[in-house]
Structure 1
Amino acid sequence: MSEAHIHPTANIHASAVVEAGARLAAGVQVGALCYIGAEVEVGENTVFGPHCSVIGPTRIGRDNRFVGHCAIGGEPQDKKYQGERVELVIGDRNLFREFVTVNRGTGTGGGVTRVGNDNWMLAYTHVAHDCIVGNHCVFSNNATLAGHVEVGDHVILSGFAGIHQFCRIGAHAFIGMGALVNGDVPPFVMVAQDGYGRPRGINSEGLKRRGFDAGRISAIKRAYRALYMSGGTLEEARAKLAELAGDSDDVRAVLAFVDAGERPLLR
């Protein structure tokens, strides 16, 4: 195997281990007692605090920060995994707090786990194999994704929230503290704990903070009422959403999410 490729401006603590085959770009900092494995690529100015481990194949973008004791790129926690080559891909400007774990994909699940840009993963959060996480998300302490979960942009998972395998969480959704989600959550929906989490309106406050005006929020509320409060079947709700979608990109996004689902909606 070739030697590690470490840019001259990278700063590696004397107690850290960087295996042959790793590639560290300019400005990378690797703290005390870290382990960077073979086939790990790290982009510019990414920082690893003490006791982090990164197992390859893993690609990490620029300006990420791993505060400490993070376990990144570990083997998937899946009994079907037989050592096949699988990957983890992480984008730019993400924050990973203490004891975060992110696993690589599986050969039967697409082979890649992906985390986008500008996300905050707070202490003890877990992203399992084959998950896809978008951009600008916040995972509060101990939030957990099981395998094959898809999370859209601007999603907030509150502390101790848990998402069942293969579920989808639409953009701008808010999952409340301790909620256990076992179905797809459409965009903009707020879920609160009641045993298993249940829809409790739309994430109005979050939408206001992101610049959604009153007209857009009203259209999303109408879509929510059609989907969750009309008392009809899902097919009837789909038909109503189609009527409402004519003049609203946001309602069209809700309808597209519903139409693309393979699992039941959380209702």
Structure 2
Amino acid sequence: MANIHPTAVVDPAAELDASVSIGPYTVIGPHVKVGAGTTIGAHCVIEGHTTIGRDNRIFQFNSLGAIPQDKKYAGEPCELIIGDRNTIREFCTFNIGSPGDLGKTVVGDDNWIMAYVHLAHDCVVGNKTIFANNSQLAGHVQVGDWVILGGFTVVHQFVRIGDHAMTAMCSLLFADLPPFVMCQGQPAQARSMNFEGLRRRGFSAERIAVVKRMHKALYRDDLTLDLARQRIGGLAAEVPEAQQDVDLMAGFLDQVNPQRGIVR
């Protein structure tokens, strides 16, 4: 039997692993699935077609799986999918997807999500991210792995944030933020690359040197985005060890919407 507080309201159709813990006054809907080792604090509401993986720690006062804030939504069985080993602090709101896009909102594994974070419909969040307090994602936002969002970061709908990118406090993103880039401002502007974060993750000096050259091509040499993309594409031939980093940046830039562009 799951450890369910007597004041919690859990629909009999919900699927809870026997090791799940549910705190006082929490409400769990009929289409919710929760994996082994996950703990859910007091006064949470988890509803909709929501699937939560293993060993997550969900603190009190969260709303997960509510319908999207989308006037076009008409009751379709869209989803919220949360992976494993995530920490979700107080007062977060994660909505299900919408039928006009993926139909699901997805959170990966090993993410550290602080208080008052909002994930709108059809957002996709990768792995090992950190979202500081009051980070706010509009609909259809995509966030890569190892991303750090400073407190009060606001991200416009359909914006993409690449792996290892980082925002300063109170950043406002209207354009795509490429991998490795650190930005700040309203609207956000590129300031540097996340070199210290890369060192902490075991990047060699050679790989970091290539990231510096990518930054130079994008932001220091007054190149168009197309010319910068061409220069970046040739870096792997010079430093084969950085092939994956060049591919990551090139793949991201290839998908940039010309009307939105990148954070400059």
Fold similarity call, TM over 0.5: yes
The alignment's C-alpha RMSD in Å is 0.9
Task: Give the CA deviation at 1:151.
Answer: 0.3
Partner-residue secondary structure (3-state), 2:234:
helix
Partner-residue secondary structure (3-state), 1:63:
coil
Question: How far apart are the structure 2 equivalents of 1:75 and 1:215?
Answer: 47
Aligned-partner residue type, residue 255 of structure 2: A
Does 1:166 pair with 2:163?
Answer: no
Corresponding residue of 2:76:
84
> After the TM superposition, which residues 19-58 of structure 1 pair with which residues of structure 2 at under 5 Å, given as runs?
19-58=11-50
Question: How far apart are the structure 2 equivalents of 1:222 and 1:181?
Answer: 24
Does 1:254 pair with 2:249?
Answer: yes
Aligned-partner residue type, residue 116 of structure 2: Y
> After the TM superposition, which residues 117-128 of structure 1 pair with which residues of structure 2 at under 5 Å, given as runs?
117-128=109-120
Question: How far apart are the structure 1 equivalents of 2:166 and 2:250?
Answer: 18
Write out per-residue CA displacement over residues 41-81 of structure 1, whole angstroms, 9 at most, x where no aligned residue: 00001101110110120000010011100000111011111
Partner-residue secondary structure (3-state), 1:237:
helix
Corresponding residue of 1:5:
none
Partner-residue secondary structure (3-state), 1:258:
helix
Corresponding residue of 1:243:
234
The alignment covers a number of residue pairs equal to 258
> After the TM superposition, which residues 58-207 of structure 1 pair with which residues of structure 2 at under 5 Å, given as runs?
58-193=50-185, 195-207=186-198
Question: How far apart are the structure 2 equivalents of 1:80 and 1:264?
Answer: 27
Partner-residue secondary structure (3-state), 1:201:
strand
Write out per-residue CA displacement over residues 144-199 of structure 1, whole angstroms, 9 at most, x where no aligned residue: 11100000000000100011100000000011100001111111100112x21111
Question: How far apart are the structure 1 equivalents of 2:152 and 2:236?
Answer: 34
Task: Give the CA deviation at 1:26.
Answer: 2.1
Task: Give the CA deviation at 1:239.
Answer: 1.3
Does 1:229 pair with 2:220?
Answer: yes
Write out per-residue CA displacement over residues 225-263 of structure 1, whole angstroms, 9 at most, x where no aligned residue: 101111121111111111213332212210111002224
Write out per-residue CA displacement over residues 209-233 of structure 1, whole angstroms, 9 at most, x where no aligned residue: 1111211111001011101111121
TM-score, with structure 2 as normaliser:
0.96
Question: How far apart are the structure 2 equivalents of 1:233 and 1:39?
Answer: 49
Partner-residue secondary structure (3-state), 2:198:
helix
Aligned-partner residue type, residue 232 of structure 1: L
Task: Give the CA deviation at 1:19.
Answer: 1.0
Does 1:215 pair with 2:206?
Answer: yes
Conserved 8 A contact 2:48-2:67 = no
Q: Percent identity?
A: 50
Question: How far apart are the structure 1 equivalents of 2:177 and 2:235?
Answer: 19
Partner-residue secondary structure (3-state), 1:73:
strand
Which ranges of structure 1 fall in alignment gaps of 5 or more residues? Answer: 1-7
Write out per-residue CA displacement over residues 70-101 of structure 1, whole angstroms, 9 at most, x where no aligned residue: 00011101111111110000000000101011
Task: Give the CA deviation at 1:136.
Answer: 0.3
Question: How far apart are the structure 1 equivalents of 2:236 and 2:249?
Answer: 9
Corresponding residue of 1:4:
none
Question: How far apart are the structure 1 equivalents of 2:220 and 2:72?
Answer: 41
Conserved 8 A contact 2:96-2:103 = yes
Conserved 8 A contact 2:3-2:18 = no
